[in-house]
Homo-oligomer: A and B are copies of this chain.
């Protein structure tokens, strides 16, 4: 049985902790300052990418790589907070649209600068371009492998 080498442990534990800490900090920052979580943010960004601010649940789920159940729950909560509304789909009676509201647009416009600033401040500012490139490569390669065996 091959246990992890010290270097492997160091990298693995570092990676896990980094995400935990960074994620937690970012979440608290955003939550406290703008009432828009990272997940909300991702949804709103994708909605504003379309001209009419409207997308099918499924397309949104695929784009964000979320399960449909998660999407359903999350949109329900966001709808409860008035950021989006659900809308029936005429062409396919099973389907539905998620539509951003004016309040949703206002929320993301208010939150976006803080979001980016926080990512910079907590992460980007402490990493060199070369390191960033390595990180991107690792991520893409490993994700590709993950997709490969057993999607």
Contact = CB atoms under 8 A, between A and B. Distances in A.
Interface of A: 1-4, 7-8, 10-12, 14-23, 25, 65, 113, 116, 119-120, 122-124, 126-127, 129, 131-143, 145-146
Contact of A120 (B2, B25, B126, B132): B2
B133 A11 contact: yes
B8 A124 contact: yes
A116 B13 CA distance: 12
A4 B116 CA distance: 7
Copy total for this chain = 2
Contact of A113 (B1, B7, B22, B122): B1
Contacts of A124: 4, 8, 12
Contacts of A4: 116, 119-120, 124
Which 10 residue pairs are nearest across A and B when measured between Cβ atoms?
A14-B139, A11-B136, A18-B139, A19-B19, A11-B132, A134-B134, A10-B136, A11-B135, A14-B136, A126-B145
B7 A142 contact: no
A8 B132 CA distance: 7
17 contacts: A3-B116, A4-B124, A8-B124, A11-B127, A11-B135, A11-B136, A14-B138, A18-B143, A20-B65, A22-B142, A22-B146, A25-B146, A122-B146, A131-B134, A131-B137, A134-B134, A135-B138
A132 to B, nearest CB: 4
